[in-house]
Structure 1
C-alpha cells in the first residue's frame, strides 16, 4: 500500500515538473510584438494584451533588438554598458534572467540597429559608419566580427534584411543626402533605392508577406509619414501622413504596420491595406506610468525567422508584377485607341511623343525639358513635378516665403520668434507669475509681487541676495543666485552707510562673540538661582505659655490648659527664602541708650514675649 502511494506521488511530481517545463517553453512562444523600454522588455499579443514582461537587471538602456526564433533568443544593444555593446537573453529561462555578453564594446561607435538571419545564423548590426556581421552557431563560440560595408559621408540609422531574396537594406540619415540603399548580404552590388522627398528617415522594415518595403520619415516641423514601396523603390505610396508624432522604430506583421512614438509614449498601428485618410490607432500606451517612457525598438515576430514564408512572398511578387504588366498594356491600348479616334494632323504625319506630352505636366515652379524628359525646377523646389516647396512644413507658425536663392524665410509675427518661428517669446520669460507682453517682437513683463526686468526679484529673493552679496562664501544650497545684482546692491549699501567698504567678515565674528557671552551669563545665573533654591531653611520651635508663668518642657497633652501651645517660627530674617513673612523682634534698649545684643536669659524671654504678642491667633498658628 505504501509502495503504491509512493509511486503515485512520484508520478504526480514528475507530471508537475513536466508541466512547468512546458510552461516555460510556451511562455517564450506566446507573444507577437516585443517592445523595449529602457532595460525592460514587454511582450504583447496581437489582440493588445500583455503576455509578459521582463527587466534585465544587469543592463541599462536598449537601443536595438533582433530575435532568433529557433533558439528563442533576443539580441540587444545596450547603450549604457561600458564593456559590451551586444548581449543576448534566453527567453526560455524561468528564473534569474540575465544578459549574456556577446560582443565587446567598440569605443569609436554605438550600435544603431540589428537584424538576424536565421538561415545562415548570422547577426547583422549597424553603427554610424559601418555595417558588420557575426556568425552565431548553435554549438560553439560566436565567430569573429566582419565589416560588410564601410561608409564615409553617410550616417546610418537602421538596417533591415530581405531573407527571401538575400538582400540587405539600410537608411542613410545624412541631412544633406538622405537615402535608402540596398546590397547583397555580403555588401556587393550596392544601389540607391530611394533618395527623393526624404527628410529624417529613422527606421525601415522588409515585409516578407507582401514583398514591400516600409519606412518611417519624421518630416520637418510637426509632420511625419509612413511610406511603402516595392523592394526596388518603385511604386512609392504614403500609407500615413500625420502630425504630432516623433516616430522611432517600425515593424510589420501579416496585416498591420506598427511604430513607437516618443511624443505620445505609445505604440501605434495601421492596416497595410488602409485607404487615404484612415487614421492610425493607438495599440499600446505607456501614459499610465506617469513618466516619459524610454521607448526604442520593437519587433513583429511573424515577420522573422520561422514566421517567414518565402514561397508566398515570391508568389505575391509575381502576382503584382503580372497585374502591373496588364495595367501597363491596358493603358497603352487606351492610348492607341485615343490616337486612332483623334483627328489626323494637317500634314497627315504621325504625332511625336514630344507633341503629345501635356504642357502643364510640371507645376508652376518648373518647366518641362523636352530633351531630358523631366521638369527643371526653380531654385529650392523639388519633386518629379516641382511640386515640393522649400516652405513645406518649414515654418511652425506665421507665413513662409521663398527668397531669391530658393531658401525659405519665416515671417513669425505676434509672440513667435526664431528662424522657423519655433520659439514663443513669452515662453518662460516672466518669472514669479509675471504677465508677459510683446511689443515690437520683444517681450516685457508686468510684475505683481516682484521686480526686475523678468520679475525675477521677490522680497525673499532680495534678502537672500543681500546675504549672498555681503559674503560670497555664504552657501546658498538649492537657490539660484544668478539674478542677484551684487554690484548695484553693494553700491546702495555704501551710499546708505557712508563709507567705502562693507566687510561682513568683521561684523559676523563680533556678533557671534557677543551672543556667546550672553549665553554664558544666562547659564551662570541659572546655576546660581538653582543653588539658592536648594539652601536649607532655618526654623525654631518654641513651647510656651502665653501668660509666661510656667514654661513648658514638653509638647502639651490633650485636655490640659488651653493657654499652653507649641509654635514653630521660621527665621527668615537672614536672607533665607521662606514661606512666612519676616518678623524682626524689637531689641531691648539699655539704660544708656544702646541696644543690648547679649545672650542673657532675660533678653531671650523678652524676644519670646514680643513674638507671642505679635503672633496672629487663628487656625494653623498654634495658640
Structure 2
C-alpha cells in the first residue's frame, strides 16, 4: 500500500507490517499511482512558480526517485497505463503525457491545452478522461485518444458541472465516467461514448474523491465524515460512518482504502 503526505511518499508492507519512506523532501506531493515495479506521483511545487515535477521511484525504496518531468505548472493529478504517465497541470489547464521509463529528457507531449484550472484525470485502454474548467469557470468532462498530440479529436462529455469554487474528481469503469461535485452534493455519470448525464446520488454534504469497479461506486465525504457506496443495483448506503475527515480513496479486489485529513491511512473490507 502506498500514499503521499505533503513532504513524503510512503509504503506499507503487509508481509512484515512495516512502513518505508520512499521519498522525502517533497514540496507538495499529491496523487500516487503504482504498477508492479514503480511508484509515480506529482510534486506540485511552489505556488505559481511553475516548478512542479512528475516523479518515479522503485517499489520498496531501493533506488533514488527520478523526476521524469520538470518545470510543470502545478501538476495536481495523474494516471498511468503500461507505457505512459498522464497528468494535469492546475495552473495552465494542460493535460500532459510522457514515458514511464523516462529519465527526464524524453519529450513532454501536450494532449490538451486550455486556459483555466484543471481537475482530475483517468485513462483506459484507448482514451484519456479529465475534468477542467471552461471559459465560464464551470467544470466540464472531456476525453481524447491517449495518443493525441494536441490535435484531438476532443469529446465533451459534460458541461456546467459546478462552479470554480467547488471541488470535483472523476473515476471510470468499463462503461462510464463518474464524477463528484462538492458544491451541489451530487455524484453523476455519463457513458464513455457520450450521451445523457445521470445523477446517481444527490444531497451529499461534500462528496470528493471517487472510485468505481464492478462492486460499486465509492466516494469520500469530508463534511459528513463518511465513506459512501452505491451498489450496482442502485442502492446507496453508508460504507463507513464516523471516519476522520476522509480525503483520498482507493480500492482493490478486496478492500477500500482512504486517507484522512488528520494524517491516517485506513481500510475496510468491501
The normalised TM-score by structure 1 is: 0.34
Distance in 2 (CA, whole Å) between partners of 1:274 and 1:155 is: 35
Structure 1 partner of 2:265:
none
Structure whose CA Rg is larger: 1
Correspondent of 1:271 among 215, 218, 230: 230
Per-residue CA deviation, residues 263-307 of structure 1 (Å, 9 max, x unaligned), is: 45x57241342535x3332279346xxxxx8x4x444356xxxxx
Map 1:199-238 → 2, pairs under 5 A? 199=163, 200=166, 202-208=168-174, 211-219=175-183, 223-238=184-199
Cα deviation for residue 243 of structure 1 reads: 3.2
Correspondent of 1:77 among 42, 45, 54: 42
Is the strand fraction higher in 1 or 2?
2
Checking the alignment, whether the CA contact within 8 Å between 1:58 and 1:98 is kept in structure 2 is no
Map 1:2-401 → 2, pairs under 5 A? 31=1, 35-38=3-6, 39=8, 41=10, 53-55=19-21, 56-67=23-34, 69-71=35-37, 73-80=38-45, 85-93=53-61, 99-106=65-72, 109-118=73-82, 121-128=83-90, 129-137=93-101, 141=103, 143-152=106-115, 154-163=116-125, 166-174=126-134, 176-187=137-148, 188-196=152-160, 198-199=162-163, 200=166, 202-208=168-174, 211-219=175-183, 223-245=184-206, 247=208, 249-263=209-223, 268-275=227-234, 278-282=236-240, 285-286=243-244, 295=247, 297-301=248-252
The normalised TM-score by structure 2 is: 0.72
Cα deviation for residue 114 of structure 1 reads: 0.7
Distance in 2 (CA, whole Å) between partners of 1:123 and 1:283 is: 34
Distance in 2 (CA, whole Å) between partners of 1:285 and 1:253 is: 22
Is the helix fraction higher in 1 or 2?
1
Checking the alignment, whether the CA contact within 8 Å between 1:59 and 1:99 is kept in structure 2 is no
Checking the alignment, whether the CA contact within 8 Å between 1:65 and 1:75 is kept in structure 2 is yes
Distance in 1 (CA, whole Å) between partners of 2:226 and 2:39 is: 20
Distance in 1 (CA, whole Å) between partners of 2:192 and 2:18 is: 34
Count residues in correspondence: 237
Distance in 2 (CA, whole Å) between partners of 1:42 and 1:225 is: 33
Distance in 1 (CA, whole Å) between partners of 2:40 and 2:192 is: 26
Checking the alignment, whether the CA contact within 8 Å between 2:138 and 2:161 is kept in structure 1 is no
Distance in 2 (CA, whole Å) between partners of 1:283 and 1:61 is: 29
Distance in 1 (CA, whole Å) between partners of 2:69 and 2:173 is: 28
Distance change >3 Å, CA 91–CA 236, structure 1 → 2 = same
Distance change >3 Å, CA 254–CA 275, structure 1 → 2 = closer
Cα deviation for residue 52 of structure 1 reads: 6.3
Gaps of 5+ in 1: 1-30, 46-50, 288-292, 303-623
Cα deviation for residue 198 of structure 1 reads: 4.0
Checking the alignment, whether the CA contact within 8 Å between 1:58 and 1:99 is kept in structure 2 is no
SS in 2 for 1:273: coil
Cα RMSD of the aligned pairs, angstroms, is 3.3
SS in 1 for 2:202: strand
Cα deviation for residue 256 of structure 1 reads: 3.0
SS in 2 for 1:243: coil
Distance in 1 (CA, whole Å) between partners of 2:155 and 2:11 is: 36
